[in-house]
Amino acid sequence: MVFAFGGIISLEHPKGDPSSSQKFCIWVSSLMRWTLKGPDLQTSTFLQGPLGQCAPKPTTMLLGRLRSFAVKVFGSYDMSWRPTTFLGGFDAHSKTWKTSRAKVYPTRFSRAIAEAHLIHAASLDVEGTEEEPQGLERALEKLASVLDSYDGSTTGAMQADIGRLSQRSWCEVWLVLVELR
């Protein structure tokens, strides 16, 4: 929604295996393919390992109006980095997913994201204040009401089918945004 109203976005998700029919990959979903048809939207795929992660961790990011992102990420690579460990699967001994060791972004990756956002912000010619765009409040209500991943009770249990709810919510938000154009 930030992007639809003129802002910039960066959304990270593991690269996945687009060729696998056994596991869902967000990057080949119809929703993502449709989203990427929009102007100023692109993806960038890279390894987090050379940025300081403990393993290669192939990652893809959806970027909106962040033209300097790839330059910042690849410019931050440690070219001498070599993998020493690999993630994937469930560790029966610790009863955790092996990927949990790599959930926190390495410092160089975080810095590259921040610098790409700051470069864009510095390029804007902004003065004074601006009225909120018409329909913004309605779009925010749509997002807040459906994308809440908890069932609303005090148990804090995740909903069983959050994926379908999220997809429905995004479609509703896109419809609101299309109406505003």
- Whole-model pTM: value is 0.66
3-state secondary structure of 98: helix
User: CA angle at residue 26 from 151 to 3, to 5 degrees?
Assistant: 80
Residue 107 backbone zone (phi > 0: left; psi -120 to 50: alpha; other: beta): alpha
Residue 32 has phi, psi (to 5 degrees) of -70, -40
pLDDT at 173: 57
Asked whether 26 and 17 are in contact (CB, 8 A), the reply is: no
> For the packed helices 162-180 and 136-146, what is the interaxial angle rounded to 10 degrees?
170
150 DSSP β-pair partners? 158
Mean pLDDT by 10 residues, the chain (181 residues): 80 80 82 87 94 92 93 96 85 81 87 92 79 77 54 41 48 58 47
Give dist(CA 137, CA 180) in Å, integer. 12
